[in-house]
Structure 1
Amino acid sequence: MESMGEVLRSMNNSALRQRSRDLEQNLLNHPLVKQLQAEHPELDESRLRLHLSRLYQYVEESRHCANCPGLEKCPNDFQGHYSKLTVETVGGMADLYERKTACNLKIAQDNQDSIRKRIRSFYVDERVLNGGYDEIDIMGKDPRRVSAVNRIFDYIAGAKENGLTSRGIYLQGSFGTGKTFLMCYMLHELAIAGYSGVIVYMPDFIEELKLIMMDNQKLKEMVDTMKNCDLLIFDDIGAENLNPWARDHVLGAILNHRMNRKPTFYTSNYPLDGLEKHLSITSKDGEEIYKGQRLMDRIAPFVDVIPLYGENQRGTVR
């Protein structure tokens, strides 16, 4: 169907003027326009003729949507939107109004985008966050992890129903059992409920701190983000190579701010007593038992420990 504007601009030619009249009549006889008239008998045909361009847009975009090629290839003027016509009576006269309306594909994309914006990751592979989640597969992949998965599901359900508490989770298990995946699933589900979340891969985070320790602004922004998000996950804690400054002035400050305020979550290969020993040893000062205990006082009382059993799922869909 050619552009209405192109036809109208060539009306100085009699043949094209006739073509224009035919196009107008065809448009007014289109089933969608007839349906509009049937639903709104108060709308005079003369008003329709004043809004031929709106009718044309409405019919064309309806045709595009009926043969939708997908959101990325949407041919409508405003991608992911279609023209919706309404009839309103103003000053005693019914008239035709148009507004752009998001289609279901656009609404779904916007919802996913808003969920992603609530989740921020530091040094975690984005594919883990965006890989999609199937609850049946999560539960059924390895029967030995059913108990842990049920407790994660219960935590999510409780947070959705009653809101967040200051209590988090310490998810402990061996390599490749799906700890990171389950925490990302929790973040995703609670982001749908409106909560913001951050997940931090500890080994890379600690190494990065050594590089940015003199960049006060970048360091402050990173730490403030971790302090203030609704849910914070330290992924693979215990695998990092700690130094006293990172442990005492960065990690300690974050945990000190969050305890009794917002929940913090952890995944680790260590049980809690093993993590305490790890946190007591730094690359510079060796073993400092008191400082390890001090940090654990900001972790252990504020988490429920969930052991995760199962086979190493690395290289397979978790």
Structure 2
Amino acid sequence: MESMGDVLRSMNNSELRQRSRALEDSLFNNPLIKKLQADHPELEESRWKLNISRLYQYVEDNNHCSNCPGLEKCPNDFPGHFSKLTVEAVNGSPDLYERKTPCSLKIAKDKENSIRKRIRSFYVDERVLNEGYNLVDIIGKDKERAKDVKLIFQYINETKARGLVPQGLYLYGGFGVGKTFLMCYLLHELAVAGYSGVIVYMPDFIEDLKSIMLEGQKLKETVETLKNCDVLIFDDIGAENLNPWARDHVLGAILNYRMNRKPTFYTSNYPLEGLEKHLSFTSKDGEEVYKGQRLMDRIAPFVEVIPLHGENQRGRARG
């Protein structure tokens, strides 16, 4: 393919002037440019002609946006942005100014990224957090759980309206009824409202603490993150193999700090009574009832209990 320089060198001055006039006429007859000129009669003709490159970019970006191939394939020079032209007076003289403006897809993408930055997960499948949510699907998938789901919606709406309160939710029920999914939905909605959040899959978290405890700084940073995030979810609590150190010095310290400060949420197969029995037993020291009760004193008073009913949805196609 010939370079632009070769093309120009092959054309004589007459051809260049003719081609230039044709491009200029086409540009100033474009409906977008005609409307812009009609809206700004104060701008002299000479200023329009001095800004031909900006006018051309404005038309080209608009054409690309009218046939948008999606954000990932955006053909504009500055992907996700289009040229916006305004006429502004500087020192009393109007002139044409160009600004690169994010399109609606770019704005939505940036908003989505900012929401995700507010959410951290430990050992939770990222697909659960990123697959999106459909309210009709959440409510209508299983009518047996509809009443319980509405309580979660109510909590989200009240938090958005009034702000965070120290009381969280304790969601328990059988396998596959949607406990984790609903807590991820809650986490996402509160992140949209500006709150930071963390979800922790307890069985893997407790198991991994054995190695983290050897890295003092990493352990400190992890505990501080769980203490200070706005929204903390312990997913599948009761399924972990507890040891006294993890229970008393990690989980206990986190809950002791958060109670009366920030809400903590839980999903479990156990009702509260069953969770207390679980927390009273460790593989090393056996049953220690008072330690289980001590931890429950930092859980039970600070949650609304929601028994989630319904059918096991695992392995079923979503729809």
TM-score relative to the length of structure 1: 0.95
For residue 13 of structure 1, what is the aligned residue in structure 2? 12
For residue 35 of structure 1, what is the aligned residue in structure 2? 35
For residue 134 of structure 1, what is the aligned residue in structure 2? 134
Q: 1:20 deviation in Å? A: 2.1
Cα distance per residue 1:130-164 (max 9 Å; x no partner): 11111122111112112210110110111011111
Cα distance per residue 1:141-194 (max 9 Å; x no partner): 112112210110110111011111000111010111100011011111111111
| 3-state SS in 2 of match to 1:157 | helix
For residue 87 of structure 1, what is the aligned residue in structure 2? 87
- What CA distance in whole angstroms lies between the structure 2 residues aligned with 1:38 and 1:8? 35
| 3-state SS in 2 of match to 1:87 | strand
For residue 223 of structure 1, what is the aligned residue in structure 2? 223
Contact 1:173 1:270 in 2 (8 A): yes
Q: 1:287 deviation in Å? A: 1.1
Q: 1:6 deviation in Å? A: 6.6
Contact 1:203 1:240 in 2 (8 A): yes
For residue 157 of structure 1, what is the aligned residue in structure 2? 157
Q: 1:18 deviation in Å? A: 2.6
In structure 2, do the counterparts of structure 1 residues 192 and 295 end up closer, same or farther at CA, with 3 Å as the change threshold? same
Runs of 4+ residues over 4 Å off in structure 1 = 5-12
Contact 2:27 2:56 in 1 (8 A): yes
Contact 2:8 2:16 in 1 (8 A): no
- What CA distance in whole angstroms lies between the structure 2 residues aligned with 1:176 and 1:46? 70
Contact 1:7 1:20 in 2 (8 A): no
- What CA distance in whole angstroms lies between the structure 1 residues aligned with 2:125 and 2:21? 60
| 3-state SS in 2 of match to 1:312 | coil
Q: Structure 2, unaligned stretches of length 5 or more? A: none
- What CA distance in whole angstroms lies between the structure 1 residues aligned with 2:203 and 2:193? 30
| 3-state SS in 2 of match to 1:207 | helix
Q: 1:28 deviation in Å? A: 2.2
For residue 214 of structure 1, what is the aligned residue in structure 2? 214
Q: Which amino acid aligns with 1:283?
A: S
For residue 148 of structure 1, what is the aligned residue in structure 2? 148
In structure 2, do the counterparts of structure 1 residues 77 and 7 end up closer, same or farther at CA, with 3 Å as the change threshold? farther
Equivalent residue pairs, number: 315
For residue 65 of structure 2, what is the aligned residue in structure 1? 65
Cα distance per residue 1:263-293 (max 9 Å; x no partner): 0000000111111111111111111111111
2:114 is the counterpart of 1:114 = yes
In structure 2, do the counterparts of structure 1 residues 7 and 116 end up closer, same or farther at CA, with 3 Å as the change threshold? farther
Q: 1:53 deviation in Å? A: 1.0
- What CA distance in whole angstroms lies between the structure 1 residues aligned with 2:7 and 2:35? 26
Give the alignment of 1:282-297 within 5 angstroms.
282-297=282-297
- What CA distance in whole angstroms lies between the structure 2 residues aligned with 1:68 and 1:250? 51
For residue 191 of structure 1, what is the aligned residue in structure 2? 191
Q: Which amino acid aligns with 1:174?
A: G
For residue 46 of structure 2, what is the aligned residue in structure 1? 46
- What CA distance in whole angstroms lies between the structure 1 residues aligned with 2:117 and 2:242? 30
Q: 1:26 deviation in Å? A: 2.0
Contact 1:11 1:17 in 2 (8 A): no
For residue 272 of structure 1, what is the aligned residue in structure 2? 272
- What CA distance in whole angstroms lies between the structure 1 residues aligned with 2:6 and 2:153? 61
Q: Which amino acid aligns with 1:262?
A: K
Q: 1:9 deviation in Å? A: 6.9
In structure 2, do the counterparts of structure 1 residues 279 and 100 end up closer, same or farther at CA, with 3 Å as the change threshold? same
| 3-state SS in 2 of match to 1:245 | helix
Q: 1:10 deviation in Å? A: 5.6
Q: 1:19 deviation in Å? A: 1.5
- What CA distance in whole angstroms lies between the structure 1 residues aligned with 2:67 and 2:7? 27
